[in-house]
Amino acid sequence: MVLLFLTRQKSVCDFMADRLKTCGHIATVCTTEKTFFQTLSSCKKSVHVLLIDFSFFDHHSFNIFAYLKEHSFNQNVIFYNHPFPQEDERIDFWCKQNASHNEDFVLLCKQINQIISSPELLPCISLINPPRDLNPAAMLPHENFNCSQFQILHSIGPVKMRLFQMLFDHLGHALTAEQLCMHVWGSYDEKKLNTLYSYIHDLRQCCRSELMYEMDIVRIGQKKYQLVFTLPHDLNIRDEQARKAFERNRHLFEDARCV
């Protein structure tokens, strides 16, 4: 498929475009509305999908779906960094926004969601996360992080901490649910799996409430988990940005799902 990006984060979308090219797609990245609409007009019949930075338009006064319909464009639209849908909701959300879509579009949505959710890219996408330069070297654990202090600060029990330590020791690598269960309990069954899910949920809350570091436990594929750890930052900046984005766009949510 032929894809056209409009973004404020060129490095992020260049990364996405390169990944999508390995899936057989052709992608062009635009950073201004003028270039974007000129390219779209000149390649009207050959462009299949538009991937747009959600922050680019004033959604109060401009509806890209209505605009395309009014001007007889047939492209599907994906706001790749829409702040509302979570990882497991994005595909359905994008499909519902595009009433007319086919199996190729659904497959593309799955590919884009997988790329966006990758630990090396996810922390760099604005609206989903605070914008910053794409720099894999900066995504390593900080040398001053103290696991014992983290355990005390968040009142983490010894068994649950054993799970966190396993993820921390294998930073940068996805571990299967079976590997984690075998390490923590020495056995793997449905009961242990359910307990693992509960522990991961609790540890995620601890990670996301951490004030000195940006941390999260992300799912990589089916029943695989990885600890993502980046440099210290001011969490208040992210919280304030997320709050403002939500307040600004929350009334658009149900309308967008019905387009």
Tens of pLDDT, residue by residue over 100-156, are 888 999 999 999 999 998 887 887 887 776 544 555 444 455 556 788 888 988 899
Rg (CA), the chain: 20
Residue 86 lies in a domain: yes
Residue 23, domain CATH: 3.40.50
pTM metric for this prediction:
0.52
Nearest to 56 by CA among 78, 27, 72: 78
Any alpha helices (H) in 129-189, and if so which ranges?
Answer: 147-153, 158-169, 177-185
- Do 127 and 251 fall within a single domain? yes
What is d(CA 122, CA 126) in angstroms, rounded to the nearest whole number?
9
What is d(CA 103, CA 110) in angstroms, rounded to the nearest whole number?
11
- Do 126 and 151 fall within a single domain? no
For Cα atoms 104, 106, 111, give the angle at the middle one, nearest 5 degrees: 95
Q: Give the pLDDT confidence score for residue 208 in this predicted structure.
A: 84
Tens of pLDDT, residue by residue over 75-87, are 999 999 988 888 8
Domain holding 104, by residue range, is 2-132+247-258
Contacts for 100 with CB less than 8 Å, ≥ 6 apart = 74, 76
Q: How many domains does the chain have?
A: 2
- Do 80 and 25 fall within a single domain? yes
Tens of pLDDT, residue by residue over 192-240, are 999 999 999 999 999 888 766 778 898 887 889 998 876 554 444 444 5
DSSP string, 56-113: GS-TTT--HHHHHHHTT---EEEETT-SS--TTTHHHHHHHH-SS--HHHHHHHHHHH
Q: Give the pLDDT confidence score for residue 139 in this predicted structure.
A: 47
- Do 32 and 121 fall within a single domain? yes
Residue 92 lies in a domain: yes
- Do 7 and 128 fall within a single domain? yes
pLDDT of 255 higher than 60: no
Describe the strand order of the beta sheet including 224-230 as a list of residue ranges: 175-176, 224-230, 214-219
